[in-house]
Structure 1
Amino acid sequence: MARSKEFEESVVLEKAMKLFWEQGYEKTSMNDLVEHMGIHRRSLYDTFTDKHTLFLKAIDRFGDWTNARLAAGLKQSETAAQAIQFVFDFIINGEEDTPPGCMFVNSAVELAIRDADVDAKAVEAFARVEQMLAEIVLWGQQNGEFTKQYEATEMAEYLHNALAGLRVMARTSVTKEKLRRIAELTMHSLKG
């Protein structure tokens, strides 16, 4: 007779996500995962197969987590400028009890060149961010907040590049004041 799981899969996956997000794939050992997730090694293998599969599921979990938070914040924005400001603030300030930066950016930098699965997930996530940004820029262009000098998709690519840089810098000791200055100048470029 098979034993029932003694843990909630989504809870331990969230713990794995935060550990991978903070430490990266290579630095996180199976012992680290077992200890941090609070489950037995056998349970980890039975549920997630191996470290790589667990990592890919953790990346997916991060995507769902991030998308939910962005959607909630953007829904409250009354203008396109407020929406873009929310995205920058979300990147710069992060959330309490989460590592700084972005798991997609961290994973892309660490692994994408040699791991096709991670590359595909990062590229897909980046495309979703650019689509979201393009929709916000188009909204701002239509209501006169943002310049029409560039296509919304081009501005979205530019904004995403700035956000990716901020996500990397957020993992360093660079001050939030500097990150905010960069965000402010980047937002200023939307006005033309």
Structure 2
Amino acid sequence: MGRSREFDENVVLQKAMELFWKQGYEKTSLNDLVEHMGIHRRSLYDTFGDKHTLFLKSMDFYEELIKNKMQARILHAETAKQAIQFIFDFIIEGYEDKQWGCLTVNSATEMALMDKEIKERVERTFMQTEQLFADLVRKGQQTGEISSNYDSKVLSEIFQNTLLGIRVQLRISASKEKLHGIADFFMDLLNK
């Protein structure tokens, strides 16, 4: 009979995700992972596979975590603009005060050119985010709270690129005041 796991897979996966998010793929060694996750190297391999597979699982875990946090708040927003404002605030203020930028954006800048699987995950996530923004903009345009002077697809692309820039600036410790100013400018654009 096989030995049962002595750890919660989601808990250690979250620890791996946080380490990759903070340090990046290349700077995170297997020893770093084993130590940070609090499991044996053999358990890491048996449960998650190699470092690359663990990284991909960490990216998936991150995407699900962030998506769930954002969707919960978006569903409770009374207006489309309120939902968009929440997204900006959520990104700028950080998840649980972690100012490491965004694991997806960090992975895109570090690995997407060299790794097809990471590139595909990043592209899928960016497309889903753009679609979410386009849906929110259309909803706001239908209710009249967002100007119809711009195409919802164009606004969603600008929104996505604004958020990407904010996420990169978060990684280099830009001031929150500056980033909220950028978000406020975009929110003003929705009225024109």
Shorter-normalised TM range: over 0.9
Equivalent residue for 1:123? 123
Q: What TM-score does the superposition give when structure 2 sets the normalisation length?
A: 0.97
C-alpha contact 1:15 1:36 (8 A) present in aligned 2: yes
Which runs of at least 4 in structure 1 moved beyond 3 Å after TM superposition? none
- The yes-or-no answer on 1:138 pairing with 2:143 is no
Amino acid at match of 2:138: L
Once residues 38 and 65 of structure 2 are traced to their aligned partners in structure 1, the CA distance between those partners, rounded to angstroms, is: 21
- Displacement of 1:99: 4.2
Equivalent residue for 1:147? 147
- Displacement of 1:80: 1.1
C-alpha contact 1:140 1:146 (8 A) present in aligned 2: yes
C-alpha contact 1:21 1:99 (8 A) present in aligned 2: no
- The yes-or-no answer on 1:79 pairing with 2:102 is no
Q: Aligned pairs, how many?
A: 192
- Displacement of 1:28: 0.4
Equivalent residue for 1:164? 164
Once residues 174 and 155 of structure 2 are traced to their aligned partners in structure 1, the CA distance between those partners, rounded to angstroms, is: 26
Amino acid at match of 1:27: K
- Displacement of 1:82: 0.6
RMSD: 1.0
C-alpha contact 2:101 2:168 (8 A) present in aligned 1: yes
C-alpha contact 1:18 1:99 (8 A) present in aligned 2: no
Once residues 105 and 44 of structure 2 are traced to their aligned partners in structure 1, the CA distance between those partners, rounded to angstroms, is: 26
Q: What TM-score does the superposition give when structure 1 sets the normalisation length?
A: 0.97
Worse-matched range after superposition: 85-94 or 165-174: 165-174
Once residues 5 and 116 of structure 1 are traced to their aligned partners in structure 2, the CA distance between those partners, rounded to angstroms, is: 32
Q: State the Cα deviation string for residues 40-68 of structure 1 (Å, max 9, x = none).
A: 00000011110000000000000100110
Once residues 152 and 43 of structure 1 are traced to their aligned partners in structure 2, the CA distance between those partners, rounded to angstroms, is: 48
Amino acid at match of 1:88: F
- The yes-or-no answer on 1:21 pairing with 2:21 is yes
Q: State the Cα deviation string for residues 13-38 of structure 1 (Å, max 9, x = none).
A: 01100110111000000000000000
Equivalent residue for 2:109? 109
> 1:6/1:99 Cα in 2 relative to 1: closer, same or farther (>3 Å)?
farther
Amino acid at match of 1:175: S
- Displacement of 1:71: 0.5
Secondary structure at 1:149 match in 2: coil
- Displacement of 1:98: 3.0
- Displacement of 1:97: 5.0
Secondary structure at 1:146 match in 2: coil
- Displacement of 1:171: 1.4
C-alpha contact 1:18 1:98 (8 A) present in aligned 2: no
Once residues 185 and 177 of structure 1 are traced to their aligned partners in structure 2, the CA distance between those partners, rounded to angstroms, is: 12
Once residues 119 and 145 of structure 1 are traced to their aligned partners in structure 2, the CA distance between those partners, rounded to angstroms, is: 36
Once residues 165 and 146 of structure 2 are traced to their aligned partners in structure 1, the CA distance between those partners, rounded to angstroms, is: 22
C-alpha contact 1:80 1:137 (8 A) present in aligned 2: yes
- Displacement of 1:189: 1.1
Q: Which structure 1 segments of 5+ residues have no match?
A: none
Once residues 129 and 36 of structure 2 are traced to their aligned partners in structure 1, the CA distance between those partners, rounded to angstroms, is: 30
